[in-house]
Amino acid sequence: MQIDDDCTEAEALDEALDSRDDAPRIDTSPDLYNIAKQRPVGQVCVCPHCRQTFTKKTYQQAFCSNKGRGNCKDAYWNRATPQRLSRAKLFHR
């Protein structure tokens, strides 16, 4: 999925969710992750985990946060595979 530099945040989100109106939330997360990774620095992105918008500050940023209690990056990747999900559940009882 290629994103143009002129593409607005709303257009990027529409593109990601276009054919997935009835799909569960987790199915759209990889699309939002790929869009956020492809967007240039300074553009508005949608966090693949919490759906909050943020302005991309560095080329590798794909999530609105990656530290502290509201860590979207870790929460996203802990749900990415069944093995990580089962391991993460041990720590969040």
pLDDT tens readout for residues 10-26: 566 656 555 444 444 44
pLDDT at 37: 94
**8 Å CB contact between 92 and 85:** no
pLDDT at 90: 77
> How many structural domains compose the chain?
1
Task: Give the number of other Cβ atoms within 10 Å of residue 86's Cβ.
Answer: 10
pTM of the model: 0.63
Residues spanned by the domain of 69: 9-91
Rounded Cα distance between 36 and 49, Å, is: 11
Asked whether residue 2 is domain-assigned, the answer is no
Categorize the per-residue pLDDT at 88 as very low, low, confident or very high, splitting at 50, 70 and 90: confident
Asked whether residue 50 is domain-assigned, the answer is yes
Asked whether residue 77 is domain-assigned, the answer is yes
Asked whether residue 49 is domain-assigned, the answer is yes
Task: Give the number of other Cβ atoms within 10 Å of residue 78's Cβ.
Answer: 18
